[in-house]
Amino acid sequence: MAFTFYQGKKFFAHSSQMVEDALTVEESLEMSLNGTAFSMTMRTPGNDNEFIHGYLFTEDIYTDKAEDLQINVLKKNEDGITKAVDILVPEHRLKSGYRNSRNFLSLSSCGICGKTELDELEGKLEDGLEIEAGQIENMFDMLNNSQKTFKKSGGSHAAAAFTGEGVLLSVMEDIGRHNAVDKVIGDLIIKNNLNKVKVLIVSGRISYEIVMKAFRAHIPILAAVSAPSTLAVDFSKELGITLLGFCRDDKATCYAHTHRIKSKIQKNVEEFK
């Protein structure tokens, strides 16, 4: 259930009327690891299996094979929405993200602010990938056409993953941008397609948490319809990620590692070094 209908009163300049609007559902999901409470996140129900796989992967908690995870549903509400799960994993294979973590509330709107420091990371994404700037526009067209929940409610975000040739591999929606990214990455892990992804695009803005998720998934190009934060740009420069913002109206602004973007009409890509 990605959206539900609520009544409201809509006001105009000289009148008003009762309306029934579709609103994006936001529900909590409590996660335990091996019987120990670990996290509560707010998300849009649906694709919970993909979300859990992607969340554990991008937070560097568990990055082994998807089939090694056993997810037990502990509680559902009266509408059948999963409210609590216990994830069984071999303790000795839990990664540093679990050992360095604490119990926390993950909000759908803001991610895990300040959880990972830049100087804790190792490596830099390097490859010979180049794509046409026009491909980015085509990818956003495909994303827009796939946003069924947004078209109904106007209140959800979306993320999509593509190959370097522009083939769509996965697209997911959620009330939170971070959750949509986790769902996409989890879907790719389950389908053994993560190594095929070269471009990740998201609706809304890009924060440094989304840059971190792209880095952990080894995705070299990250693009958004809106602006990146300053920290997102700084992280992208250090981690080797090509970061684009304001990808709309046949334009895009590249803020880091512009060498991966080619444009026949160069003025459409404003390069910042």
Q: 219 in a domain, yes or no?
A: yes
Range of the domain at 267: 131-271
Residue 249 is labelled as binding a ligand: yes
Q: How many domains does the chain have?
A: 2
pLDDT at 99: 64
Let me know whether 110 and 217 are in one domain: no
Q: Mean pLDDT over all residues of the chain? A: 83
pLDDT category at 120 given cuts 50, 70, 90 is low
Residue 187 is labelled as binding a ligand: no
pLDDT at 250: 80
Residue 127 is labelled as binding a ligand: no
Let me know whether 140 and 261 are in one domain: yes
Q: How far is CA 150 from CA 47, 146, 154, 182, in A?
A: 16, 9, 4, 18
pLDDT at 110 over 50: no
From 119, 151, 185, the end of a domain falls on 119
Name the DSSP letter for residue 229: P
Q: What is the mean pLDDT of residues 173-180?
A: 91
- Contact indicator for 164, 184 with CB cutoff of 8 Å: no
Residue 246 is labelled as binding a ligand: yes
Nearest to 4 by CA among 31, 20, 23: 23
Average the pLDDT over each of 50-64, 183-197, 251-265 and give the range with the smallest value.
251-265
Q: 18 in a domain, yes or no?
A: no
pLDDT at 236 over 50: yes
pLDDT at 113 over 80: no
The 3-state DSSP class for residue 113 equals: coil
Let me know whether 167 and 259 are in one domain: yes
Let me know whether 80 and 177 are in one domain: no
pTM equals: 0.78
Let me know whether 80 and 173 are in one domain: no
Residues marked active site are found at 110
User: Which pair of tokens denotes residue 52?
Assistant: 């859990």
pLDDT at 117 over 60: no
Name the DSSP letter for residue 226: S
- Between residues 129 and 13, which one has the greater pLDDT? 129
pLDDT at 202: 95
Let me know whether 56 and 77 are in one domain: yes
Residue 251 is labelled as binding a ligand: yes
User: Which pair of tokens denotes residue 128?
Assistant: 């010979």
User: Which pair of tokens denotes residue 62?
Assistant: 């568990």
Let me know whether 73 and 157 are in one domain: no
- Contact indicator for 174, 184 with CB cutoff of 8 Å: no
Q: 229 in a domain, yes or no?
A: yes
Q: 217 in a domain, yes or no?
A: yes
Q: 2 in a domain, yes or no?
A: no
pLDDT at 188 over 90: yes
Average the pLDDT over each of 19-33, 93-107, 116-130, 169-183 and give the range with the smallest value.
93-107
